[in-house]
Chains A and B, each alone.
Chain A
Amino acid sequence: MVFNDYKNKAVLVTGGTSGIGLATGLAFGRLGAQVYLTHRWGSVSNDEIFVEFEKQKCMLPIIVEADASLKKDTQSLIDTIVEKHSFIETFVSNVAFGHVSKHPSDLESRSLLTTLKYNAWPILDYLKTIKKVTGKFPRYAVGMSSRGPDTYLQGYDFIAASKAAMEALCQNLTAALIDEDIRINMLCPNTILTRSFEATFEPEFKYHLENSLGKYGDYFVLKAERVANAVLALCGGGMDDYKGQVLNLDQGACFSENLNMAYKYFAKENT
């Protein structure tokens, strides 16, 4: 349920050809929006994405190859959008890429800067470019964070630090743009079994989540479509006074994720 009319409005989703990004694109597509999806590697064929949009009776998306860390790609992308739309209603910054560490000795400042370039700064670059080209900010901007800043995930050091930077950046941008018609918020979803999850964690962990935790595992693992729905909630007009916040999406599972509960669960399982 959204209050706003998205018919023919431009919605930009970076990292939009798979996982959360694609689910978000489809969610806006179902509302009649013209969705722009960006990707860097194009690991899913455009045809497959078009078929999915057609199946759900959505306007076909415009898929653009754009590296979120490159200003020239961002400029070219926004130039492409303004050929058809005078402004961008909603911008979803979903690109996530970074250095996954195998040992603390492989943590180097160069990798940290690269990780920051893909996780934290794109939201700033995109907003600056959108404002410069269209003359106004999107009414809604949503960044995708993760649990990394609040809980230890092995090897996730730089991505977690970059997500923390993005959360603070969004709050600072909210302050700087407090009089503008823009709402910048972050979503912090719990584990989603996307390709990015597979690239970050060992395959056994996925098996464990899906098969060893019973009902709790069903709550712990989140579906991309549920995150997409939360994006709609933030950008649908019902939460227009909600600004500069980080919203955790964990289906209520994370508050009980501690050793005491693990003991109770596995002790019960083993008796």
Chain B
Amino acid sequence: MENLFKNKTVLILDGDKGLALGCAQLFTCLGAHVILTFAEPVKDGIAILESAKLKDARILSLDLTSSKSTRSSLKGVHETSPKIDILISVVDKFRSFESFESFDENIFTDELKTTTWPFFEVLIAIREIFGSCPDYAIAALEESGRKNAGTISKNMIETLSRYMATNYLYENCRVNVLRVQKSSDLGFEVSEKQAAKTIVTMCSGLLDSMSGQVLCLDKGMACAI
């Protein structure tokens, strides 16, 4: 099992997040070459990787809100890696609009640029630059437990994922969304370790018949409450 992902390249966006690091550790244990993206400065990324015992992982400095930066960085990766086999994006920091007054198009537009769109920007750019899609693209949405948090963005990510799965249907590219219950007062919180195992399982080949799906990792919370 330790060589399951040998010679595979895994690109994980926003590498400073707990689940991103958990995935990086597990994929590394299973033989993958892992690249984590960080916004500037890179030295912070080095420190994070060292403390996460991920010295072999590669850091990619990348402003995910900039199409130009995304493409330029990916072109650099393409010089040494012929393919990105797996793309993982851990998405959190969703805004919640609770009162009528708090609804603001500018805030939503900002969330769209920073949270909703980067996964798709990178997926499309990989297809253009590497000439092939990743075999697996997963957007992991962390559920904060706050009411209505990110509902609009999450709906968009889920719908766009279904469309991308269909757009790339014949390109051996599976696009799926994993909703992870990160915070719960009632004992339904999913650990980063377990969520990382689920993401790895989704990329293991066992679920190759699944694409364009939204999975809820919530210990059964949706049924029980």
Contact status B220-A175, CB under 8 Å:
yes
Contact status B219-A243, CB under 8 Å:
yes
Q: Which of A227, A230, A244, A253 is close to B220, meaning CB atoms less than 8 Å apart?
A: A244
Q: Within the complex, what minimum Cβ distance (angstroms) separates A248 from chain B?
A: 6
B residues in contact with A2, CB < 8 Å: 206
Give CA–CA (A222, B202) in the complex, Å: 18
Which B residues from 177 to 225 make CB contacts under 8 A with A? Answer: 181, 190-191, 194-195, 197-198, 200-202, 204-213, 215-220, 222-224
Q: Within the complex, what minimum Cβ distance (angstroms) separates B215 from chain A?
A: 7
Q: Which of B174, B198, B205, B224 is close to A229, meaning CB atoms less than 8 Å apart?
A: B205
Contact status B209-A249, CB under 8 Å:
yes
B side interface size, CB within 8 A: 40
Q: Within the complex, what minimum Cβ distance (angstroms) separates A114 from chain B?
A: 28
Q: Within the complex, what minimum Cβ distance (angstroms) separates B87 from chain A?
A: 16
Give CA–CA (A41, B72) in the complex, Å: 63
Binds A, one of B56-64, B123-131, B162-170: B162-170
Give CA–CA (A2, B201) in the complex, Å: 8
The answer, yes or no, to whether A237 is at the interface (CB within 8 Å) is yes
A side interface size, CB within 8 A: 38
Which B residues from 1 to 48 make CB contacts under 8 A with A? Answer: 1, 4, 30
The answer, yes or no, to whether A149 is at the interface (CB within 8 Å) is no
Give CA–CA (A247, B215) in the complex, Å: 7
The answer, yes or no, to whether A252 is at the interface (CB within 8 Å) is yes
Contact status B200-A249, CB under 8 Å:
no
Contact status B166-A1, CB under 8 Å:
no
Considering the complex, give the chain A residue whose CB is closest to the CB of B191. Answer: A241
B residues in contact with A242, CB < 8 Å: 198, 215-217
Considering the complex, give the chain B residue whose CB is closest to the CB of A178. Answer: B224
Q: Within the complex, what minimum Cβ distance (angstroms) separates A57 from chain B?
A: 18
The answer, yes or no, to whether A73 is at the interface (CB within 8 Å) is no
Q: Within the complex, what minimum Cβ distance (angstroms) separates B183 from chain A?
A: 14
Give CA–CA (A238, B191) in the complex, Å: 12
B residues in contact with A65, CB < 8 Å: none
Contact status B190-A241, CB under 8 Å:
yes
B residues in contact with A233, CB < 8 Å: 201-202, 204, 206-207
A residues in contact with B207, CB < 8 Å: 229-230, 233
Considering the complex, give the chain A residue whose CB is closest to the CB of B189. Answer: A241
Q: Within the complex, what minimum Cβ distance (angstroms) separates A28 from chain B?
A: 13
Considering the complex, give the chain A residue whose CB is closest to the CB of B163. Answer: A255
A residues in contact with B218, CB < 8 Å: 241, 243
A251/B222 contact (C-beta < 8 A), A238-B198, A238-B204 known: no
Contact status A175-B219, CB under 8 Å:
no
Q: Within the complex, what minimum Cβ distance (angstroms) separates B166 from chain A?
A: 5
Contact status A250-B220, CB under 8 Å:
no
A175/B224 contact (C-beta < 8 A), A189-B209, A222-B209 known: yes
Q: Within the complex, what minimum Cβ distance (angstroms) separates A185 from chain B?
A: 10
Considering the complex, give the chain B residue whose CB is closest to the CB of A168. Answer: B223
Q: Which of B206, B217, B223 is close to A236, meaning CB atoms less than 8 Å apart?
A: B206
Q: Within the complex, what minimum Cβ distance (angstroms) separates B18 from chain A?
A: 16
* 8 pairs of A and B residues whose beta carbons are closest in the complex: A238-B201, A252-B211, A243-B220, A244-B223, A233-B206, A226-B209, A1-B204, A174-B223
- List 11 contacting pairs A-B, 8 Å CB cutoff, sorted by A: A1-B30, A236-B206, A238-B197, A239-B198, A239-B217, A242-B216, A245-B216, A250-B212, A251-B210, A251-B211, A256-B169
Give the interface of B toward A (CB within 8 A). 1, 4, 30, 162-163, 165-166, 169-170, 174-175, 181, 190-191, 194-195, 197-198, 200-202, 204-213, 215-220, 222-224
In the complex, besides A252-B165, A255-B163, A255-B165, 4 extra interface pairs with C-beta distance below 8 angstroms are A1-B201, A233-B207, A241-B198, A244-B224
